[in-house]
Structure 1
Amino acid sequence: MIPLPNGPPAQIPPIQHKFGKESPVERYKRQKRLAAIKNSFKHSWNGYKKNAWLQDEVRPLSGGYKNGFGGWGATLVDTLDTLWIMGMKKEFETAVGALEYLDFTTSPSPTISVFETTIRYVGGLLSAYDLSGEKYPILLAKAIELGDMLYASFDTKNSMPVVGSWKWLKAAKGELQHAPSNALSADIGSLSLEFTRLTQLSGDPKYYDAIQRIMNAFEQSQNTTRLPGMWPVSLNAHDLDFTNDRQFTLGAMADSLYEYFPKVRLLQYLLLNGRDKQTRNMYEKSMAVAKEHLFYRPLNPGNLDLLISGSVRQIGAGYDRKNEGQHLTCFVGGMVALGAKIFNTPEDILTAQRLTDGCVWAYQQTPSGMMPEIFEAIPCTDDEDCKWSEERWYKGLIMAVHRVLDTSTRSLKEQAQKIIDKGRLPLGFAKVVDSRYYLRPEAIESVFYMYRITGDKTWQDKAWQMFKAIDSHAKTDIAYAVVQDVRDEQSQLTDTMESFWTGETLKYFYLIFSEPDLVNLDSWVLNTEAHPLRRPQD
């Protein structure tokens, strides 16, 4: 059993900006925006309560419900801390009371995701317990109940959990389990915050022991992958082989693995002694590789100094970068800003700003004011030579689509215009791969961190424009829904509202306009589902 470390605390520099007194005009504008965001949350929450109480998600168009996350009321649990943060104590207590009806020792679903259950449910319960001053014991009791169920997924030969679709009944019956030979790196590598906090609050070391074994395995393999310093999208957890996959990204299926390195240090810093260099080394090595291979400056009509995080595939002795922008990678700016403060690398604040502005720009370029799920841009070959011209855009478009430049039959403009018209491309985009806005939080998450860390109020204005766009396009009579095509000024909607809309997205919007001491970054660390966990204090 690996115990929680003890010894002299590591020193963490202050993270949050020291905000001064605001003027009456500033306060009025901020509070007006705050009220609008809270009203959007109330609309969403009431739609869930009326149509999908104790179910995972509400269907925001039809008024039905669906269960895809264990059937334990994902939206309810994921939203507990948002209710507390927004001062809705009566609603909070009603939701806490409903936990009595949720049995985390069993599930109506034959398979569950260990990762999603950990970040949404365990994180949500622990956060609500921390935020409410530990006054509602059922929150910790239910977190332990669920933690014990999930702990059974680690009952494998090498103690690596059965992630993906875990057949929990096999574990309940004591049947032999095997760690998967094809596991997503985010699924297996993003359990540390929740399990560490569960050990801290329960006093049971088994949860920390379970995830520290995973962390050690990732540390030992970091320099052995096909892109040394980073881990591939998928890995063989059964054999602890990290060398099969050639795909590397900070986006889908890998994202929160990297996000948790600086955050784990925050949560554990009073407990860490000799091991405090582990997460720093893993973070710094991986970010050095990301800066070299993944980050690129996109050509854009405003000649803005932006960065976007793409993805890389190892081919032969080299690497081929896909110049994409995933909404899921938009958390990277916030992560880099947080890392800059935690690890005292102030030069990285500019990198964080450029990454965050890259996502804000992607919002601003579409007719709807929302960023698509996945798009591609034109990379500048030289970071210093990135001046916009339509000719450069045209050439980049043609190369992105056809991989070859041929003007023998049609002019450059004619070829490019055909691509633009067919793809309905916003200015500066090379391709829209997935046109949806999924109510995701990652972009506003980074805007939140940039505002709280720098104190620059222009981030509030950027956030407000983002919120207005979402509010005007995604709202339904019941709640809010996924926008099918951000290229349309009036897009069709999809009958889906995942729990992260009320658990994350609206929470980040709210915290940008709240009093800055609410969830102060020097006292709290937020998990990948935006659940604030209390940092141990001296």
Structure 2
Amino acid sequence: MRQFPQGSPQWLPKVQKFIETEPAAERQVRLERRDAVKKVFQRCWNSYRKHAWMSDEIMPISGGKRDVFGGWGATLVDSLDTLWIMDLKDEFKEAVEAASKIDFSKAPGDKVNVFETNIRYLGGFLAAYDLSGDRRLLRKATEVGEMLYVAFDTPNRMPMTRWDAVDASKNKPQEADESVLLAEIGTFALEFTRLSLLTKDPKWFDAAHRITELLHKQQDTTRFPGMWPVIVNARTTEFNLHNDFTIGAMADSWYEYLPKAHALVGGLLPQYREMYEKAMEAVIKRNVFRPMLPDNADVLVSGLVSVSRSGDDTVYSLKPEGQHLVCFAGGMLALGGKLVENQTHVSVGEKLMDGCIWTYSHMPVGIMPETFTMLPCPLTISPEKPECTFSETKWKNAIKKKHISKGFTSLPDTRYILRPEAIESVFILYRTTGRKDLPEKAWKMFEAIEKNTKTELANAALSDITRYDPENEDPEKTDSMESFWLGETLKYFYLMFSEPDLISLDEWVFNTEAHPLRRLVPDLKGLFD
């Protein structure tokens, strides 16, 4: 059994850069915007409470409900810490009372998605407990942790990412899969470590750290040293065989957790910092590119790299596809750069965030699609600013179809599903750099999202942000509102316009579902006696 390391947490570098004295007029605008975000949350929460209470999601157009994450009330648990942060204490009290009665022994109709259950339910309960101190929430977190722990009951202790409770009850063989997404096997470090620290039971830390040890050991042995492939083999514990490498979908949260785990444990597990620094060196070298844009904007986007062999040479091929989901990377690099005192990381993170803001502002309704492709500049990022002047001819030769905004070459997926990653990075970059233009840019993002996704009941995903009626700019909506709209997106918008000491990044880290977990920090007792 791996034991959490002994000793006092280290003093880590400060992350937040507090804003200068705020003029009264600016403060008034900021608070009005904060309250506007809160009203949107309240409208959605009240509709969920009325039409889909204790179900996973409300259907924001029809008023129906659906269960897609175990049927245990994903929106309820995902929203607990948002209710506390927004000072909706009566609603929080009612929600905790309801959540404390969730029966996690009731097996869902489908297999348990271990990744989603971990980040939404376990993360949600842990954060709400860390904020409020309500012991009922820690008991529910422990219940979820016990359920998830069974997914690790395999011959090699690697988890089944889709766990079948019925099969397990019938004593059918329990084995990890041969083809597993990197994100789904790697994203346990924050939640499992925090649960072990709070319960003083090392078993969850042990389960997560076994995975960390294997990934750490194999980091330099992959076909793209420093990074891990999107697909890994959990049954044989070979995490270095496949060819595709990205910090985007299917791999994202593993990379995100490297600097965050370093912060969570106060630097007591140095392999997290080591893995983060090696991974980002590789990412910045080959995954990050500057797109050729009509206004010659100096921004960055992160794509996917495929590795192949040509004779004795290794060939790295970049697929210049951006994703809304990968917009988290700007915040990751800003946070990580601050923690390891690497200004290059902060600067790259800032340009990645700017790339997401640019994409928002150059879409027809001011909202980024799920995926898009761009034409990379001839030179990748380097210490010297690369020359990249927009070429109309090169762009026209690269586009897949006509009638596409300049700068984009294709839009493979034009949905917007109420994702939080762009505002997540804007929030983190604002807290870490204090850049004065970011509140206004965040507000424009919020206005565009609220205007185009609002329904009578709540807010709905969009099926195609490029197809809309120019008379009223109303893209077609789908009857879907994932729990992360209340658990992440609106939380980050609210914090964007709140005082900077509310969930300070020097005291908290957010899991990949935006649930804040309290960091270990040095004990201040006696230092100033």
TM over 0.5: yes
Alignment check: 8 A CA contact 2:298 2:351 kept: yes
Deviation at 1:173, TM superposition (A): 4.8
Alignment check: 8 A CA contact 1:72 1:107 kept: no
Deviation at 1:484, TM superposition (A): 1.1
Distance 2:391 2:235 in 1: 51
Deviation at 1:174, TM superposition (A): 4.7
- Residue 20 of structure 1: aligned partner: 20
Q: Does 1:277 align with 2:270?
A: yes
Q: Does 1:288 align with 2:285?
A: no
Deviation at 1:395, TM superposition (A): 3.2
Deviation at 1:181, TM superposition (A): 0.6
Structure 2 counterpart of 1:314, from 283, 307, 332: 307
Distance 1:170 1:202 in 2: 29
Distance 1:9 1:79 in 2: 30
- Residue 527 of structure 2: aligned partner: none
Deviation at 1:340, TM superposition (A): 0.6
Deviation at 1:255, TM superposition (A): 0.2
- Residue 431 of structure 2: aligned partner: 452
Structure 1 counterpart of 2:196, from 196, 199, 205: 199
Structure 1 counterpart of 2:292, from 272, 283, 299: 299
- Residue 29 of structure 2: aligned partner: 29
Task: Calculate the TM-score normalised by the size of structure 2.
Answer: 0.94
Q: Does 1:504 align with 2:488?
A: yes
- Residue 150 of structure 1: aligned partner: 148
Paired residue secondary structure (1:223): helix
Deviation at 1:303, TM superposition (A): 1.3
Deviation at 1:457, TM superposition (A): 2.2
Q: Deviations over 1:316-337 (max 9, x none)?
A: 2312111010111100000000
Deviation at 1:284, TM superposition (A): 1.0
Matched AA of 2:16: Q
Distance 1:160 1:379 in 2: 39
State how 1:34-45 maps to structure 2 within 5 Å.
34-45=34-45
Moved more, 441-450 or 240-249: 240-249
Q: Does 1:432 align with 2:388?
A: no
- Residue 390 of structure 1: aligned partner: 392
Matched AA of 1:267: L
Distance 1:476 1:8 in 2: 50
Task: Calculate the TM-score normalised by the size of structure 1.
Answer: 0.92
Distance 1:109 1:527 in 2: 27
Alignment check: 8 A CA contact 2:322 2:371 kept: yes
Structure 1 unaligned runs (5+)? Answer: 402-418
Paired residue secondary structure (2:503): coil
**For the aligned residues, what is the CA RMSD?**
1.2
- Residue 106 of structure 2: aligned partner: 106
Matched AA of 1:484: S
Q: Does 1:337 align with 2:316?
A: no
Q: Deviations over 1:77-110 (max 9, x none)?
A: 0000000000000000100010233112232334
Q: Deviations over 1:94-153 (max 9, x none)?
A: 000102331122323341111100000000001000111x1x211000000110011011
Matched AA of 1:129: Y
Alignment check: 8 A CA contact 1:297 1:379 kept: yes
Distance 1:346 1:244 in 2: 33
Distance 1:336 1:436 in 2: 26
Paired residue secondary structure (2:318): strand
Structure 2 counterpart of 1:364, from 361, 365, 371: 361
Paired residue secondary structure (1:386): coil
- Residue 213 of structure 1: aligned partner: 210
Distance 1:349 1:176 in 2: 47
Paired residue secondary structure (2:17): coil
Distance 2:346 2:357 in 1: 16
- Residue 402 of structure 2: aligned partner: 420
Distance 1:478 1:511 in 2: 24
Q: Deviations over 1:257-292 (max 9, x none)?
A: 00000000111116x1xxx32011111111111111
Deviation at 1:172, TM superposition (A): 4.3
Alignment check: 8 A CA contact 1:152 1:171 kept: no
Q: Deviations over 1:212-264 (max 9, x none)?
A: 00000101111122212111111110001123321111111100000000000
Alignment check: 8 A CA contact 1:13 1:341 kept: yes
Paired residue secondary structure (1:301): coil
Alignment check: 8 A CA contact 2:18 2:500 kept: no
Structure 1 counterpart of 2:175, from 174, 178, 203: 178
Structure 2 counterpart of 1:169, from 160, 166, 171: 166
Distance 2:391 2:304 in 1: 26
Distance 1:172 1:534 in 2: 36
- Residue 515 of structure 1: aligned partner: 499
Alignment check: 8 A CA contact 1:153 1:168 kept: no
- Residue 47 of structure 2: aligned partner: 47
- Residue 409 of structure 1: aligned partner: none
Deviation at 1:466, TM superposition (A): 0.4
Q: Deviations over 1:343-372 (max 9, x none)?
A: 111232211110000011110001110000
Paired residue secondary structure (1:420): coil
- Residue 467 of structure 1: aligned partner: 446
Distance 1:330 1:215 in 2: 24
Distance 1:251 1:396 in 2: 23
- Residue 476 of structure 1: aligned partner: 455
Distance 1:118 1:262 in 2: 19
Moved more, 429-438 or 13-22: 13-22
- Residue 242 of structure 2: aligned partner: 245
Distance 1:131 1:296 in 2: 39
- Residue 408 of structure 1: aligned partner: none
Identity of aligned residues (%): 50
Deviation at 1:392, TM superposition (A): 3.3
Deviation at 1:166, TM superposition (A): 1.4
- Residue 404 of structure 1: aligned partner: none
Deviation at 1:477, TM superposition (A): 0.7
Structure 2 CA distance for partners of 1:137 and 1:172, relative to 1, 3 Å? farther
Distance 1:511 1:352 in 2: 19
- Residue 136 of structure 2: aligned partner: 138
Paired residue secondary structure (1:494): coil
Paired residue secondary structure (1:312): strand
Deviation at 1:71, TM superposition (A): 0.6
Distance 1:140 1:483 in 2: 36
Q: Does 1:235 align with 2:235?
A: no
Alignment check: 8 A CA contact 2:511 2:517 kept: yes
Moved more, 16-25 or 385-394: 385-394
